[in-house]
Amino acid sequence: MSGSAGRSGGAKPGRRSRRRRRRRLTTVDETSAGGLVVDPERTSAVLIGRLDRQGRLLWSLPKGHIEDGETTEQTAVREVKEETGISAHVLQPLGTIDYWFVAERRRVHKTVHHFLLEAWGGELSDEDVEVTEVAWVPLAELEERLAYADERKLVRRARELFAAEIEEVAE
């Protein structure tokens, strides 16, 4: 018999297989709401800045998880207040974004309902532990400041809505 007879393949004796067992990630769905908060004159909007894992400041629209019994509109108003200090009311839906990410050994499918909101009171505040900075940003600068392409698209949609609003008033 040759030295390999009787073996049926697999890893060599004394060595572990290079294949590691992959743990299946639990898939979960999460739903949030928030939006683009503009001043009454429609010249600027509130953005929040959060640090990413590399320590970079990423600007985005305020948003957060829907709590039991809340509508998406109520969540948007509450999250804007909590994350920015600004009181606002919903003008209209702006769009929905969904994306996937992995966190804490979970594969998360997140859906975020965005609204166009108008500020009516409050003062900027970054007291929310999840927020590093808060700022009023001129509408013309939003697209270059926002970190996420989907949110930049929502800003373009809002600007189109504002342009249509101006045309209606002019007629």
pLDDT digits (tens, 9 = 90+) for 79-124: 999 999 999 999 999 999 999 999 888 999 999 999 999 999 999 9
- pLDDT over threshold 60, residue 7: no
- 71 versus 168: which is more confidently predicted? 71
The pLDDT of residue 21: 61
Higher per-residue pLDDT: 165 or 86? 86
130: nearest Cα among 72, 66, 65, 37:
65
Distance from C-alpha of 81 to C-alpha of 78, rounded to nearest angstrom? 5
How far is C-alpha 49 from the chain's CA centre?
A: 11
User: Full-prediction pTM beyond 0.75?
Assistant: yes
**CATH 3.40.50.720 given to domain 26-170:** no
Look up tokens 């996937």; give the residue.
100
Give residue-wise pLDDT tens across range 114-158.
999 999 999 999 888 989 999 999 999 999 999 999 999 999 999
